[in-house]
Structure 1
């Protein structure tokens, strides 16, 4: 029976690792890549429109040709994504390459601003002003006022428009790269945690504890979303079941230590229904609570630390 439980734990870990991979590639990166493809097509359409007035201008034509070549590299996606043959479902999109592709696209969009006609530049100026006015950052309102102070066809307006768009693109790229970095950290922690779960489960045999802890870790963000109607981050969703399983295992061990008669912090009911008897209802419920609440584990760990670090009672005076 114990061997069957360990095989079941290994199967659960493998299945969840597959879910983590699908989440990373299909649910996190794939929508961003679809948005990237849409922006590339929009950028190509703008380049095609600008190619008409540039028919007699060799410099503009050369700039548009170089820009189209760069967009071709992005649209092919050879450096961003690989796909199964004859399949339209994206199976691998590294987040680091996706962030680099967005930087290239933003650079191409700024190059298009240099080639716009006066009427299009006036529209771009007005759109950029609206974006700045809608921003909550300090100083963006002043930038919007500076854009409105210059005529759309003036060199000052063009230079300021390019500088402001570069600033906005830099903010967007930095925020996306920070988000991707956090997602990569969460995915790495999830994969490492699965390895730790498998190792602890094979050595100690606390399969029931881990499964109930993972269940509590899964229920925590679900209930949070239902109560607050807010979306949790991908990192929390991916890490919650793994962290819940690990917290449940460590939590039961802490409960057993604090219920020891030599410490007597917890009642005797936890002495026989914790680490030594993980299949007892009290132990399973405790594991579920530890998986659901990370603060419960941290508070209990602080209590255990205080008990260990407390100085021994002085001997009674004779």
Structure 2
């Protein structure tokens, strides 16, 4: 039940809370593009080629607003119930292409304004290469075919950079979702097979507290992937750590004290074992060090003893 509830929370967060701000920006830009298309269409009645291009743009904008193209809705005009990240990323690429097409159809004075706005944006950016692009825009005249070509090229470069960054972020989120789903399945199997549900629950609590305390200390938000995977990884690290503690506390190895022999894998509900599970979930470094210690015990060989004369 806990695993199913956590998976539902992760799914809702991915399809709703994370995608919703980006989707609202998409809707705003979509409305701006539609407004520009209408303004351009009003002055293109005597140009059939230009009117046909604007009609194609308007049709493409209509496609982006259809139910299921970007967001899943119960009814065509009701609230969005799910916003798949892959669809949202693809829709942004389409919208950026529409914006560049509208930019090409704008009047010369509007293109000059756009060129100046891009130049100021690049001059104020700290990203590598933007200062060089701003200087390139400043060297060229603001009118003529060359300026139009440069304007479209810079706009395409910025759009592609934005889309690539968003797609990489979405890919990381999909990876985190897959790992969380797989980890929850493994945790469920371990809990049923070995009856270690309580230690895993405390390990998940430790995994949740670790990024939470980090955010409180640094006052900076942690990545979504870390927040999602930390409780799942904490639960698995807790049960695996108790098994390693039992191994290292064995009298044949005696790496850990005798107190851990009866407060580990075989007695996972005792207070000491539960505290150890919480620590393993909280600190990935603790689990890594213990795993390295156990590995060293496995690969080490006793020194050879000489024959007695």
Structure 1 and Structure 2 fold alike (TM over 0.5): yes
**Is the aligned partner of 1:287 residue 2:277?**
yes
**Is the aligned partner of 1:202 residue 2:192?**
yes
CA distance in 1, matches of 2:157, 2:235: 43
Q: Is the 8 A contact 2:67 2:73 kept in 1?
A: no
State the match for 1:246 in structure 2: 236
Offset of 1:84 from its aligned partner?
A: 1.9
**Is the aligned partner of 1:297 residue 2:300?**
no
Note closer, same or farther for the CA distance 1:160–1:77 as it changes in structure 2 (3 Å cut): farther
The C-alpha deviation readout for 1:107-150, integer Å capped at 9, x for no partner, is: 00100110111221111111111222223344322221221222
State the match for 1:4 in structure 2: none
Note closer, same or farther for the CA distance 1:147–1:77 as it changes in structure 2 (3 Å cut): farther
State the match for 2:26 in structure 1: 36
Offset of 1:91 from its aligned partner?
A: 2.1
CA distance in 1, matches of 2:303, 2:77: 71
**What TM-score results when the alignment is normalised by the length of structure 2?**
0.95
How many residues are matched? 308
**Is the aligned partner of 1:84 residue 2:74?**
yes
**Is the aligned partner of 1:112 residue 2:99?**
no
Could you tell me which runs of 5 or more consecutive residues in structure 1 were left unpaired when the two chains were aligned. Answer: 1-10
CA distance in 2, matches of 1:260, 1:89: 59
Secondary structure of 2:272's counterpart equals helix
Note closer, same or farther for the CA distance 1:153–1:52 as it changes in structure 2 (3 Å cut): farther
The C-alpha deviation readout for 1:166-199, integer Å capped at 9, x for no partner, is: 1111111111111111100100111111110110
State the match for 2:179 in structure 1: 189
Secondary structure of 1:276's counterpart equals helix
* TM-align CA RMSD: 1.5
CA distance in 2, matches of 1:158, 1:128: 13
Q: Is the 8 A contact 2:66 2:76 kept in 1?
A: no
The C-alpha deviation readout for 1:218-274, integer Å capped at 9, x for no partner, is: 111111111111111111111111110001010111111111111111111111111
Note closer, same or farther for the CA distance 1:110–1:87 as it changes in structure 2 (3 Å cut): closer
Q: 2:126 aligned to 128, 136, 142, which one?
A: 136
Q: 2:40 aligned to 50, 59, 74, which one?
A: 50
Offset of 1:85 from its aligned partner?
A: 3.6
CA distance in 2, matches of 1:89, 1:253: 48
Offset of 1:66 from its aligned partner?
A: 0.7
Could you tell me which runs of 5 or more consecutive residues in structure 2 were left unpaired when the two chains were aligned. Answer: none
**What TM-score results when the alignment is normalised by the length of structure 1?**
0.93
Q: Is the 8 A contact 1:40 1:71 kept in 2?
A: yes
Q: 1:1-318 counterparts in 2 under 5 A?
A: 11-85=1-75, 88-315=78-305, 317-318=307-308
Q: Is the 8 A contact 1:214 1:242 kept in 2?
A: yes
Note closer, same or farther for the CA distance 1:164–1:60 as it changes in structure 2 (3 Å cut): same
Note closer, same or farther for the CA distance 1:29–1:139 as it changes in structure 2 (3 Å cut): closer
